[in-house]
Chain A
Amino acid sequence: MAMSSEESCSYPDESKLELGLGLSLGGGSGAKLKFKPSPTAVAAAGPWGQYARILTAKDFRSVVSTKECLSSSSSSSSSSVTKANNNPFCGVKRTAEPSSPPGRSGASQVVGWPPIRTYRIQSLVNHAKSPMTEEITSVVDKCKSKNTIVDKTNCGSTLNRNVAKEKGLVKTSLFVKVNMDGIPIGRKIDLSAHSCYATLSQTLDDMFKLSAVVGARRSNAEEQVVKTRPSTLLNGSSEFVLTYEDKEGDWMLVGDVPWEMFLSSVKRLRIMRTAEANGLAPRSNETNRTQSMAQI
């Protein structure tokens, strides 16, 4: 809901224009257009003057981001206006939150500083952090205190994330793709917004609408397990299981390794039909599959 006063203005017709053709602004070349607004136009100006408009928080992803927002799914998903309306103060769509400059308290964060394009920041954080050979030895030492297994290609990024968490700095983003069997369109999720498997699973549940809500809204009652725990993806009771592809290209079940190790090796996620994950033929689960597809 932005306010604009220009609709109420009357526009002077062009005959009132003094002429400066091919107007070029600046650079000192050519004559300038002089425009004389008619008196009525000026008088019709609203409180902002004729030419101003006000954007509201609905338009604006706020300056201040909060930790709560970081863990919500909206930080990793769309730029739709509805999301903006729901979370007016949510962190910016491309997270990679900057840490506060020295001298500022940790509460206020500086958006857009240092001035690096969000596209570049995302690329950097996700992919450009493989430490080179010289760095390995020092990194290995630090890693040993954090992980049991040292993964050379990922140690740097793990190290930085750990250091960041240690110092209480805001996490940088780690977007991975999530695809669900049977759905052609994938989504993306920011793993660094989560600190454990439970919240990740919950978010994916919401994103792909996997579980029935307690006190179901749905009229067609499914034979779904009522949630007693936040998510069904990880407890084996769902139609689907959550798997991930690691850096070596292997598909693994999510939840087996410590969270940090998972973060350092995950490339992308896949919500796989349980039957497939177990190596069973999908035909035996045909009915259930249709049912669960219907609710999506």
Chain B
Amino acid sequence: MQTDPNPNKSKDSPTNSDSTESTQSPSPFPDDVLGQVLSFLNSDKDRSSVSLVCKDWYNAERWTRTKLFIGNCYSVSPQIVATRFPKITSVTLKGKPRFSDFNLVPQNWGADVHYWLVMFAKVYPFLEELRLKRMKVSDESLELLATAFPGFRALSLMSCDGFSTDGLKAIATHCRNLTELDIQDTDMSDIDDFNGGWLSCFPENFGSLEVLNFASLDSEVNFDALERLVSRCKSLRVLKVNKSIMLDQLQRLLLQAPQLMELGTGSFQQELLPGQFGDLESAFSNCKNLQTLSGLWEVTSIYLPVLYAACASLTFLNLSYAALRSVEFGSLLAHCPNLRRLWVLDTVEDKGLEAVGSSCPLLEELRVFPADPYDQHLHSGVTESGFVAVSRGCSKLHYVLYFCRQMTNAAVATIVQYCPNFTHFRLCIMNPGRPDYLTNEPMDEAFGAVVKTCSKLQRLSVSGLLTDLTFEYIGKYAKNLETLSVAFAGSSDWGMQCVLEGCPKLRKLEIRDCPFGNAALLSGLEKYETMRSLWMSSCNVTITACQQLAREMPRLNVEGQDGMPHLLFSLFDRQDLLLPSLMLWSGTRAVKMAGEKQSELDHSFLLNENMRND
């Protein structure tokens, strides 16, 4: 019996470990010592390794795993999960592919959490935490969640839909031990709750909330109830309100909760009397622990100074909903010397980014969003020089998301020279297929420079006019690349083949509107087994190739989407028809339909991954 606490030491092939044995017969309890040691393991990656060592380790691991992470809700059935892991108290589930954020996935595609909850209610009545991303969550599901799990503490819904404030009412009413209610980026069903009464459903003696985020909800809330709730919850450290909360109300909330570490303001547009301005300023100055600041909708520059006193300890400033200009932005930045993460709108322009370069030496992450993404005729926003300015001043920069309308190869080469440690490089030149605007050449050399210089690169999004050369570079140099997003790029199948044959750590590949076809698709058969997913949309892939793919790779889910009803009938005749969308992922077998029927079968547990990586 091994009692070696280092689980990574041996990885024998598991000839004796038998998943069937563990599912068919009552499992022996693990060795006490082994069990205790393994309870310290938190990383899913480590746990997966541990479970491969031998049967005893497999059992010890499964009995001590408390956190479940499933990166694709269709990759494994709830029954398999329930059978293998009896002690789960925390679940993270991700559903729809990322392209659903951009309306490229059908509305009722699936990813309904309900059948998972039904299983959890039976097998994990002691469930405490549920974190969902891009899943469909109905009010019925929320009601089940609220009533079936007496110890339930933390609910996080990111980019989920399908629920209304009725579901939230259930959560507020029944979850006596709730510490976290975190709702992000929600596009709620448009049936609104006029009364905004869900917040009032927290009982009067309820005070355990530590996290309350309803910033993305539309409904107005009962402010008195909110104020009382905030005053009762002495441990509240995260409060993010929605746009219905006005400045004078915000001031009252801050008075109740000066201990806040993360604050999302409501609307910042209100006619304030001079006295109110002073009150607000002093309320903010009392918030000594503020690390994150967001919200700031409709902010008017004259009110920004109320924030200054609270910015000394800020590490994350999210101004992506505040259309600031460079001057007031620069003034605000001067008060934020400790910024690590900054999200802004491109209304600050290059001048604002220069201020970033000079005021934020500790900056690690920058995201610049376009204030007006569809307006091609007004030349506003940021350019390559803003990006260069930031990179010059912020040597610790490793995460960038940058929307712009023009870029040059030389600028990108300069940027990665200043900042060679990029792990996430997402550059979106908003006009598809735009070349280097100075030289008129493709942007191949830009991304070549990125992959050659940034050896730690995990995530890359490319844009602009790109030939197959870009993908040759990526395949050859991007040794740590896990996620690649491609749009309107490439010249031939060769490009995609380079990526599939290179990039040893590739996990997620998203491609839209590229001239990659069947040869490219089929060249990746071996590769797909090691990847989480492939998404191709509006490429040159036909149904024939997909059929072949499905035949040769039975472990892969192959899913095609057809946008036109008349095509459905000719699909099986016209094998040469181009498929609008293809989604492919490895793991278990075929996927449910509208009845959410799950085929029980094998399993796959995916590597642990930070939800924030998207």
Q: Residue A54 at the B interface, CB < 8 A?
A: yes
Name A42's contact: one of B191, B431, B554 (CB within 8 Å). B554
A163–B605 contact, CB under 8 A? no
Cα A79 to Cα B321 with chains together (Å)? 26
Cα A116 to Cα B428 with chains together (Å)? 10
User: Which B residue's beta carbon lies closest to that of A170?
Assistant: B374
Q: Residue B61 at the A interface, CB < 8 A?
A: yes
A112–B19 contact, CB under 8 A? no
Question: What's the least CB distance linking B591 to chain A, in Å?
Answer: 6
B607–A26 contact, CB under 8 A? yes
Q: Residue A111 at the B interface, CB < 8 A?
A: yes
Chain A neighbourhood of B599, CB < 8 A? 6, 11
Question: What's the least CB distance linking B607 to chain A, in Å?
Answer: 5
Chain A neighbourhood of B159, CB < 8 A? 117, 119
Name B558's contact: one of A2, A51, A117 (CB within 8 Å). A51
A94–B187 contact, CB under 8 A? yes
User: Which B residue's beta carbon lies closest to that of A14?
Assistant: B20
- Near B by CB (< 8 A), chain A positions 161-179 give 163-164, 167, 169-170, 172, 177, 179
Cα A172 to Cα B373 with chains together (Å)? 10
Q: Chain A, 281-293, contact with B by CB distance < 8 Å: what is the 0/1 string? A: 0000000000000
Chain B neighbourhood of A31, CB < 8 A? 13-14, 52
- Near A by CB (< 8 A), chain B positions 239-283 give 243, 267, 269
B269–A113 contact, CB under 8 A? no
Given contacts A21-B17, A130-B323, contact A53 B593 (CB under 8 A): yes
Cα A98 to Cα B586 with chains together (Å)? 33
B377–A101 contact, CB under 8 A? no
Cα A63 to Cα B348 with chains together (Å)? 33
Given contacts A11-B601, A24-B45, A47-B547, contact A101 B103 (CB under 8 A): no
A132–B328 contact, CB under 8 A? yes
A50–B554 contact, CB under 8 A? yes
Q: Residue B341 at the A interface, CB < 8 A?
A: no
Chain B neighbourhood of A230, CB < 8 A? none
Cα A117 to Cα B367 with chains together (Å)? 14
* Shortest 8 CB-CB contacts between residues of A and residues of B: A49-B550, A112-B102, A22-B51, A6-B590, A59-B106, A24-B48, A22-B48, A132-B325
27 A-B interface contacts by CB (under 8 A): A2-B594, A4-B590, A9-B590, A19-B14, A19-B15, A24-B44, A25-B606, A25-B607, A27-B505, A29-B48, A41-B554, A51-B557, A53-B560, A57-B568, A59-B561, A60-B106, A63-B563, A79-B161, A99-B374, A110-B513, A118-B103, A118-B187, A128-B323, A134-B325, A134-B327, A163-B377, A186-B192
Report A's interface with B, CB cutoff 8 A: 2, 4-7, 9, 11, 14-15, 17, 19-33, 35, 37, 41-42, 45, 47-63, 76-79, 81, 84, 88, 92-94, 96-99, 101-103, 110-124, 127-135, 153, 156, 160, 163-164, 167, 169-170, 172, 177, 179, 184-188
